[in-house]
Amino acid sequence: MREGSAKAGSLNSIRIPYAPDGYSATAKRLPELPVAKLLLRRADRRLQARGPAVIDTGFDGGVYPSIEAVRLLEGMRPKFTEPLFHPLYGRIESEVFELDAYIILQDDQRVSLGPVQVYTPTYPEYLSDESLIGREILNKRRILLDGPAATLELLETAK
């Protein structure tokens, strides 16, 4: 994955490339999607997890964690519980935790998303190998989805 860089240490513009999504069951090529490298950090134990995260404007929450990221939550108490609607499984119960989140750029620079709410299903069968970054984070920023250029750009933090 190629990722853009922040300008002179600021967060005025970050480009996130789209990634191939593979093929459907009928061998139809699926549309590409924006994928960032996400780092979640648990400060109280100096633990972190990183991996791909799909930028998903259809997900209501902040972060829907991958299987790897859920390991960070061991021993933590959730802030609250909240049912989520999963497009395949319907209503699923989730515990909501707060972690620090970062997007990792190609040069390993970290761009802080601040503390985010991580919506974690109570049943592990609803987890996957990639996380989702949802509207709870995206709606605090100006974003430009540029399909023809196959990039998503985070332009600035909303005030």
Per-residue pLDDT tens for 98-152? 999 999 988 888 989 999 999 999 998 999 888 999 999 999 888 888 888 888 8
- The whole-angstrom separation of Cα 127 and Cα 131 is 9
Residue 2 reports pLDDT greater than 60 = no
- Of 51 and 158, the one with more pLDDT: 51
Coil, strand or helix at 73: helix
According to DSSP H, which parts of the chain are helical?
Answer: 67-70, 135-138
- Which domains are seen in the chain, by residue range? 14-157 (2.40.70.10)
Over the stretch 12-71, which tens digit does the pLDDT of each residue have?
Answer: 678 888 999 889 899 999 999 999 999 999 988 788 999 999 999 889 899 999 998 999
pTM score of the predicted model: 0.85
Higher pLDDT, 105 or 5: 105
pLDDT at 3: 39
DSSP notation for 27-57: SPBPPPEEEEEEEEEETTTTEEEEEEEEE-T
